[in-house]
Amino acid sequence: MIDVAHLTKQYGAKTAVDGVSFTVAPGRVTGFLGPNGAGKSTTMRMLLGLDRPTAGSVTVNGRAYRDAPAPLREVGALLEARALHPGRSARHHLRWLAASNRIPVARVDEVLGLVGLDAVAGTRVGTFSLGMGQRLGIAVALLGDPPVVVLDEPVNGLDPEGIRWVRTLARQLAAEGRTVFVSSHLMSEMALTADHLVVIGRGRILADCSMPDFIAAHAASFVRVRTPQTGPVTDLLRAAGAEVTPLDDELHVQGLDAAAVGELVGDTGLHLHELTLVRSSLEDAFMTLTAASVEYSARTGTDLAGASR
Amino acid sequence: MTVTAASSTVTLDPRRNVPGTRPGFSSTLQSEWIKFWSVRSTTWSAVMLFVLGAGLTALICATNAEWLASSEADESPGSFITSGMTFAQITAVVLGTLAVTAEYGTGMIRATLAATPRRGSVLAAKALVLTGTLFVLGTVTAFAGYFAGNWFLDREGIGLALTDDGVLRSMVGSGLYMAGLGLFAAAVGLLVRHTAAALSAVLALVFVVGTMAFLLPGAWGEWTAKLMPGNAGSPIAAPVPFNPELMAPWPGFAVFAAEVLALLAVAWVVFARRDA
């Protein structure tokens, strides 16, 4: 259980996290979603007692992280993948961490096997690929067998197989009753992993709801209708209270579901050539939600063409 | 690299915590010890310290023994018997700096502080591992240099006995001064958090600015020079210092130790408050 209450962090004049409150419950995967620079990592650093909040508080299992006698046995965290000394072996990296929290040395080899790094345990981590570094980071998070697991951008640098592995791992950890808090800037990844979603943009919470609720609230849907009798069908649907937008030879209908449209048109004897429920993707929904809060956005192609002329 | 099958990745029971007792300072100390010795740079620096310290002492004694025994000599053999240690001190500064700045350079400091949020404990453990290692290594190296260098001095009939005035003190003093220099460098490293910046600042202050300070005019200039960390701390590491203007060994070392501890206190205050 993670409790974030009115958490604020300012760096000089810049407010990175702005009065954020939410709860991460055990037994499910909570996704922490936001564009780059939204305040995800800052929030996670405050959660781990690394950065001091300007105001507000964050507690893990009822107390501040700094007050935990053996924090690695309570909260396992994957920080940025390269928080490693390149000259140290994977086993030694885990061994000093284990020693600091009195975790038995046997557990080091256990987690190395768990993340599939046992074959390279004695190799200096400077030679690791980004994906291998990420696996070692996950081994660090699992070292203390903690009831709370915090993963900051865990799929960064992983190949598709690795991404699926992290996804399965997160779901399994949650199924075991642990609190799992995963940050990402990829909506598509969250859609497959998270049960609950906390969306942050420019340091503020934009959404805090279950995944199905998020989809219902933010992923717009409409019914696509194709008919040779555009005029009469439009009039009919509008009369029934629907919002109809003609587009080429299609009609986009909102306010009536596909079944209602089909029955209405069928009763009058008019013809339909297509009747489809169209959902905009979650990625689109996320983009729409955070559009106003993206810190750095790319210029469009036409702008670039204009600039280079 | 093979991937563990997804079905076998997790077999953990959430209600089972990893067995183990509450970690204390000894855990932090053990952790820092493993960290210190599990990178190659430590082994290399330790070897370099020994080779430079003992080897150069032997070399300098060998090449100067004849002159020292002659009537032209205006220096004491006691100045030469730990002379190689001056160069070995550079590696002590490197070791002290890297013990701290390597963590900032790699971002590993966050892993350290997530594992041990009590920052005072982290700093104390680091300091103890560093000073302990440097004291033992410095003392052993000074003895090795003494035995090697004295062999050449003995041949010219100007050898020093371990019981001679200040000889034994300079052996242990070499270890103490090494430990102090390493700690000084670590404190600077903690303040500036950059390897190159910390290294050049300490090396310049101890080996360049300290020597140049003797050019300052008047009584205040003389005392400024005497109180510079390298000038105050180094007399303890030689039976007879090259520079006769330096402070006496133990008062000088007391000044040096006070300077190191004062800087360390500042670094600790900053470290305890700063965002990692």
The C-alpha atoms of residue A262 and residue A275 are separated, in whole angstroms, by 7
User: Is pLDDT above 70 for B235?
Assistant: yes
Distance, in angstroms, between A147 CA and closest chain B CA? 6
Using the Cβ of B276 and the Cβ atoms of chain A, whether some distance falls under 8 Å is answered with: yes
Q: Determine how many CB atoms are found less than 10 A away from the CB of residue A106.
A: 9
| Interatomic CA distance for residues B161 and B204, integer angstroms | 35
The arithmetic mean of pLDDT across residues A34-56, rounded, is 93
- Lowest mean pLDDT: which of A125-134, A293-302, B205-214? A293-302
Q: Is B17 on the interface with A (CB under 8 A)?
A: yes
CB contact under 8 A, A79 and B114: yes
Other Cβ atoms less than 10 A from the Cβ of A219: the count is 17
- Is some CB atom of chain A closer than 8 A to the CB atom of B20? yes
Extended beta strands in chain B, E state: none
> Smallest Cβ distance to A65: which of B32, B117, B273?
B117
**Of residues A297 and A234, which shows the higher confidence score?**
A234
Q: Give the residue-averaged pLDDT of B72-80.
A: 91
- In whole angstroms, give the CA distance from residue A205 to residue A17: 9
Question: What is the mean predicted confidence (pLDDT) over B117-146?
Answer: 97
pLDDT at A81 over 60: no
Give A19: exposed, middle or buried? Use CB within 10 Å, 0-12, 13-18, 19+: middle
The verdict on B111 touching A (C-beta cutoff 8 Å) is: yes
CB contact at 8 A, B85 and B142: yes
Lowest mean pLDDT across A299-303, B33-37, B89-93, B233-237: A299-303
Of the candidates A235, A197, A153, A156, the one whose C-alpha atom is nearest the C-alpha of residue A28 is: A197
Q: Are A100 and B6 an interchain contact pair (Cβ–Cβ within 8 Å)?
A: no
Contact criterion met (CB < 8 Å) for B6 and A65: no
Residues A24-37: what's their mean pLDDT?
93
Count CA within 13 A, CB hemisphere, residue A121: 17
DSSP A119: G
Tokens matching residue A54: 């300007």
Lowest mean pLDDT among A114-123, A241-250, B17-26: B17-26
Looking at the complex, report in whole angstroms how far the Cα of residue B234 sits from the nearest Cα belonging to chain A.
33
Whole-angstrom distance, CA of residue A150 vs CA of residue A72: 11
User: Which of A69, A119, A132 comes nearest B23 by C-beta?
Assistant: A69
Q: What ipTM was predicted for this assembly?
A: 0.88
Q: Number of Cβ pairs closer than 8 Å across A and B?
A: 153
Q: Would the CB atoms of A52 and B31 count as touching at under 8 Å?
A: no
Give all strands (DSSP E) within chain A, no chain letters.
2-11, 14-24, 29-33, 55-60, 75-78, 148-152, 179-184, 196-201, 204-210, 221-226, 243-247, 250-254, 274-279
Pairing of β A196-201 and β A29-33: parallel
Across the interface, whether the CB atoms of B9 and A114 are under 8 A apart is answered: yes
Determine contact, residues B187/B267, Cβ cutoff 8 Å. Answer: yes
pLDDT confidence band for A152 (50 / 70 / 90):
very high
Residue-level pLDDT at A125: 93
> Which of A79, A101, A164 lies nearest to residue B110, judging by beta carbons?
A79
Chain B hits for A172, Cβ within 8 Å:
9-10
How far is the C-alpha of A243 from the C-alpha of A136, rounded, in Å?
A: 53
Q: Which residue of B has its CA nearest to A74?
A: B17
Please report, for residues B95, B129, B134, B202, B207, the alpha-carbon distance to residue B47 in angstroms, rounded to integers and kept in the order given: 12, 17, 12, 21, 22
pLDDT higher than 60, residue A309 = no
**β-bridge mates for residue A58, sequence order:** A4
- Residues A113, B4: C-beta atoms closer than 8 Å: yes
> Per-residue confidence at A303, pLDDT binned at 50, 70, 90?
very low
pLDDT in tens, B248-266: 999 999 999 999 999 999 9
- Nearest to residue A68, comparing CAs of A58, A53, A81, A79? A58
Residue in B closest to A174 by C-alpha? B14
Is pLDDT of A218 > 90?
no
Q: Which two tokens stand for residue A76?
A: 């396992």
Shortest CB distance from B18 goes to which of A145, A176, A177? A145
Unique residue bearing structure tokens 């929904």:
A285
> How far is Cα A192 from Cα A154, in angstroms, rounded to an integer?
14
Looking at residue B104, its pLDDT comes to 93
What is the rounded average pLDDT of the residues B227-242? 93
In degrees, rounded to 5, the angle at the alpha carbon of residue A254 between the alpha carbons of residues A250 and A256 is: 110
B32 at interface of A, judged by CB pairs closer than 8 A: yes
pLDDT at A62: 87
Give CA–CA dist B142/B80, Å, rounded: 12
B1 → closest Cβ in A51, A87, A116 = A116
Mean pLDDT of A254-258: 85
Give chain A's radius of gyration (CA, Å). 25
pLDDT at position A299: 52
Give the one of A79, A119, A145 whose C-beta lies nearest to B12's C-beta.
A145
pLDDT score of A247 more than 70: yes
What average pLDDT score do residues B147-174 get?
94
pLDDT of residue A297: 59
Encoded tokens for B189: 């490293």
pLDDT for A298 = 59
CB A79 within 8 Å of CB B110: yes
DSSP code, position B51: I
CB of B5 within 8 Å of a chain A CB? The answer is no
Q: How far is residue B113's CA from residue B220's CA, in Å, rounded to a whole number? A: 43
Mean pLDDT of A82-102: 92
Cα B16 to Cα B34: distance, rounded to the nearest angstrom: 27
Could B30 and A99 be called an inter-chain contact, meaning their C-beta atoms sit closer than 8 Å?
yes
Q: Which of A8, A17, A85 to mutate to test the interface with B (most CBs of B within 10 A)?
A: A85
Query: Could you please report the per-residue DSSP string of B58-127?
Result: HHHHHHHHHHHHSTT--S-HHHHTTTTHHHHHHHHHHHHHHHHHHHHHHTTHHHHHHH---HHHHHHHHH
Token pair 């991937």 in the structure block, residue: B3
Mapped onto helix, strand or coil, the DSSP state of residue A161 is: helix
Beta bridge pairs of residue A75: A148
Write down the mean pLDDT value for chain B. 91
Mean pLDDT, chain A, integer: 88
Quick one: pLDDT band at residue B34, thresholds 50, 70, 90? very high
